[in-house]
Structure 1
Amino acid sequence: MQLPKRRHLAFGAALGIVLIPGPALAHSFGEVFTLPMPFWLYGWGSAAALILSFLLIALSAGNALPATSTGRDLSQHRSIRLMRKLHLKTLAQSLSVGALLLCIVSGLWGVRSPYGNFNMTFFWIVFLLGASYGSALFGNIYSVINPWYCLSAAINRFCRAFDRARVTWPSWLSYWPAILLYGALIWLELLGASTPYVLSIMLLAYSLLNLVAVAVFGSRNWFRYGEIFSVLFALLSRLSPLEYIATDRGQAAKHTEPGKLQLRWPLAHLTDLRVGHWSLLIFILFMLSSTAFDGLHETTLWKQWFWLDLYQNLLRDFSSSNPLAAFPQMRQWFVYWQGFWLFASVTLYLLAYLLSLQLGKWLANSSHSITELALGFAPSLLPIALAYHIAHYYTLIQTQGIKIISLISDPLGRGDNIFGTANWLQRQFIPDANTVWHIQLGSILIGHVLGALVAHRLAQRLFEGERKVILSQLPMLALMVGLTTSGLWILSLPH
């Protein structure tokens, strides 16, 4: 039964309100730059390129990656020794803690505009995006300048018993705390009211949580398993040609010998990553699925699915048949709907991943358990996760991230000009549409090709004989093609 014409008009008005972009809160900064383009051409072309890459990898027997991540030691290079003499590590740690404190202060007492307040641009773009890409390029520098570790180390200098593990970290707990915190972070970014004030409160609460966790579990366990950014950036740093081996946490407080810096083949260290628990696999999959969901949940198609199809066919029977009267309740339900699919997305990715592994296990007639295969191939997902991240978010650095140069002179948004840069880069930077689309296309395609390369190397360790290796990877190839085309399809959808 169709709605009367008047109700159609009323519902159209309500839907129009929903589809109007918000003032500045999606991703905490407005829309990510995406562009509708002819999907079929890019989809078929990318699938063909991925299949061709798979054939080339198979023919080369996966020898494009070295068997070990052992690299060249750069610790004694002149530039590194100079950095030590200049105490750049101490300076970087001080700046890291100072930036955290400034984020909290500017959010509590600065302007409420996300664009005019220092903390929103610094945390969501300079820190979260910049450190993610920086880790993939330059290694796990975050392990050295982590502001929460620096704070706990400073407290430990005055109270030696502070960083003493009072409770042993249970093996069953593994990385689950990091997953819960990461889920809360993504929910705040995509669905929460992420304002400068809310962000400051969250940073204060998270700082307190870190200090309490260090006092209970010790810094070694907490910053390995529980702290979100330590887990995230350590995973992404596996893609880097540089590896920083930090001084043991227990020895760091005694100011013993510095850490070691190694230069290695890109991705080689990734094949040495041992994912020993399902929680770490779930974390990696959530990196993938949450980014894909982010690209989908702001599209017109997604909103119409809820506000038109679900409402007219089901939900109006539980609220009101008058669309305008039902709108407030439906808007709240829409938030729950979004949250459900954000966290359900990782289940869908996990099922697709396990299905492809099970098919590969049958084809290769392998005796390995599905758990061994799932954990064993998990590192191959990291290049894809980074590629998704770049495709969806890199434009934010160009459009808003560069504004940090002016915001640093006026962090509270009150007209200050501390460093003389407050009036710099005031004009709006709009990326070229064609350039954005092709960078998005290239990043997703390259990420999947690198993932296939890493998966082939890992398969050589798990299966005997090149024939079984290739057979085991055919379902994974199908999964890669599916992820590539679905990722491009999401990017092509109108917002």
Structure 2
Amino acid sequence: MASESRRRRRRRRRSRAVGAVLAVAWVLVAGVGRVAAHSGSLRGATRDPIAVPTWLFLLTGGGVVGVSFLLASFVTDRRLVAAVHDWRRPLPTPGRALHALAGAAGIVVLTVTVAVGVVEDATGVRNLAVLVVWVAWWGGFVASTYLVGNTWPALGPFWTVAERLPSLDRRYPDRLGAWPSVAGLLLLVWVEVTAPLADDARLLVAVLVAYTVVTLLGAVVFGTDRWFGSVDPLSRAFRLYGRLAPLGIEDGRLHLRLPGGVLPETTLDERGDVAFVVTLLFVTTYDGFVATGPWAAGVRAVVGAGVPPVVAYLGAYLVGAALFYLAYRTAARLGRRRAETYLSVTEIARRFVPSLLPIAAGYHLAHNLGSVLVLGPTLAAVAVSPLSPPPSPPQLAGLPAWFGGLELAFVLLGHLLAVWVAHATAYDLFPSRLQAVRSQYGVTAAMICYTMLSLWIVAEPYVAPPFIAS
């Protein structure tokens, strides 16, 4: 009887999960007509093909990650590994006045962005709202969370406002865990990729207002700590990225530490945490993949066979996210088998998944830095003289020849740091040195695959995604 009851509960959970996936898919399809990747407006002039054969380039990148794993395997002194990651230097902690000032600044920026997006007639990258969101925030601020430190709790206008609103403190369903944040991240990036937000400032403002309303309502119903801790995808992404940064708050104090120093001791406990980190890695990859030649040829062939463009994009999106997650779970299963440990696959997956954060950060930096460098002068010009015609973005396009190599370096550096974090995690998790080394086989194999895919996308010349909405 007990066994039958457990089976019924499992069937009900699977039914709810399938229903949730179908509901999200319906919202995604219903909310988007034609596909319009914003990369067409922001990145078209920032990607050039590499001069060496692609197969040689990819094998070299994958080989670098593999060799770095071998080199890290020779570092078997636990005291040395611990000393590297335990290094800290306390710094003066910002006072409440500075925190309040940062919160007020965030509210002002959001208000001005919404107002300008509504009243300004300029379109595309000539509109201050578009530049603030895609250049200053998505390209610059997001990078600051993993390069410097996570300042979103102080600067985030949603958090600042929500803390001052009354709360109903309704009980959050524990069975949901972090899964709503996974769905929220998929939804946000889907809208970012497929809607013409970089061309239509009013549509961008509508998305900002909708996100603000949903976020504030959720914080009022469930409380700020629970909402921003488990549900809000932006807060969760920035908090995870912040653990990669050299600056962080520990025990109420600001500390300087080595980049990624706290990742080996990071244990993710929420249901869906592993899926969230893997999805964070996937969505940036998808954003770049849809601007490649092979994708353009493939989606044209699929649409030519009678499949609607939005279905082709959405199908690749959901299948890709599932494959990324399946690949990582398979890697965790391989690591458990090779290590011959009593730990479950879920426990292995939770402990090693923070090592994927440097990969996501490295690819995000490579993917967006070009937009910041190309459009940064335009943003400065529009912000200083909002009434004057801004310089034409094409006149600012054309990055130095060495920039392509810098993008590739960011990708490789992220993967190399990921290998080291996985190595340190293994030595923190397993008492045996042989177990520690063998437990990394699966995640290292996954990293090599992720590396080669990321390098291929960065190296591909830019191709405007087909079926762009006018």
Tell me what 1:294 maps to: 287
8 Å contact kept, 1:35–1:433: no
If the length of structure 1 is used for normalisation, what is the TM-score?
Answer: 0.79
Structure 1 residue 146: Cα displacement:
1.3
Find the counterpart in structure 1 of residue 411 from structure 2: 444
Shift of 1:189: 1.4
Residue 473 of structure 1 deviates from its aligned partner by 1.6
Is 1:45 matched with 2:20? no
Report how far residue 379 of structure 1 moved. 0.5
Closer, same or farther: CA 106–356 of 1 in aligned 2, 3 Å: same
Post-superposition shift, 1:282? 1.3
**Structure 2 match to 1:406:** 381
Residues 425/164 of structure 1: CA separation in 2 closer, same or farther (3 Å cut): same
In structure 2, the CA distance between the partners of 1:23 and 1:409, relative to structure 1 (3 Å rule), is farther
- 1:300 Cα deviation after fit: 2.1
Match of 1:163 in 2: 167
- Per the alignment, do residues 24 and 399 of structure 1 end up closer, same or farther by CA in structure 2, a change over 3 Å counting? farther
Q: Give me the CA root mean square deviation.
A: 2.5
Aligned to 1:276: 269
- Check if 1:104 corresponds to 2:79: no
1:256 corresponds in structure 2 to none
2:316 — aligned with what?
341
Deviations 1:260-288 (A, max 9, x none): 31122221111222111341211111121
Does the Cα contact within 8 Å between 1:32 and 1:392 map onto a contact in 2?
Answer: no
Contact 1:74/1:262, CA 8 A, preserved across alignment: yes
Contact 1:395 1:431 in 2 (8 A): no
Q: Which residue of 2 aligns with 1:213?
A: 218
SS in 1 for 2:272: helix
Q: List per-residue Cα deviations over 1:426-454 (Å, max 9, x = no partner).
A: 77333446322211221111111111111
AA in 2 matched with 1:73? P
Distance 1:306 1:404, change over 3 A: closer
Identity %: 26
**1:142 matched residue in structure 2:** 152
Query: TM-score normalized by structure 2?
Result: 0.83
Q: 1:74 aligns with which of 86, 91, 96?
A: 91
Q: Does residue 361 of the first structure (1) align with residue 336 of the second (2)? A: yes
Question: What amino acid maps onto 1:362 in structure 2?
Answer: R
Per-residue deviation at 1:237? 0.6
Pick the aligned partner of 1:453 from 420, 428, 431.
420
Counterpart CA distance in 1 for 2:313 and 2:216 is: 32
Letter aligned with residue 148 of structure 1: F
Distance in 1, matches of 2:442 and 2:233, equals: 32
Aligned partners of 1:126 and 1:425: how far apart in 2? 18
> 1:380 aligned to 355, 361, 364, which one?
355
In the alignment, the residues of structure 1 paired with residue 40 and residue 160 of structure 2 have an alpha-carbon distance, to the nearest angstrom, of: 28
CA gap 1:356/1:176 in 2 versus in 1, 3 angstroms: closer
Structure 1 residues 345 and 431, CA, compared in 2 at 3 Å: closer, same or farther? same
Change (3 A) 1:69 1:342: farther
Deviation at 1:141, TM superposition (A): 1.0
Cα offset, 1:183, TM superposition? 1.6
Find out whether 1:223 has 2:216 as its counterpart: no
Cα pair 2:265 2:428 within 8 Å, conserved: no
- Gap regions ≥5 residues in structure 2: 1-34, 464-470
Change (3 A) 1:278 1:452: farther
Q: Is the 8 A contact 1:71 1:263 kept in 2?
A: yes
In structure 2, how many angstroms separate the alpha carbons of the residues matched to 1:28 and 1:95?
28
Structure 2 distance, partners of 1:443, 1:50, is 13
> Aligned pair in 2 of structure 1 residues 133, 261: CA closer, same or farther (>3 Å)?
same
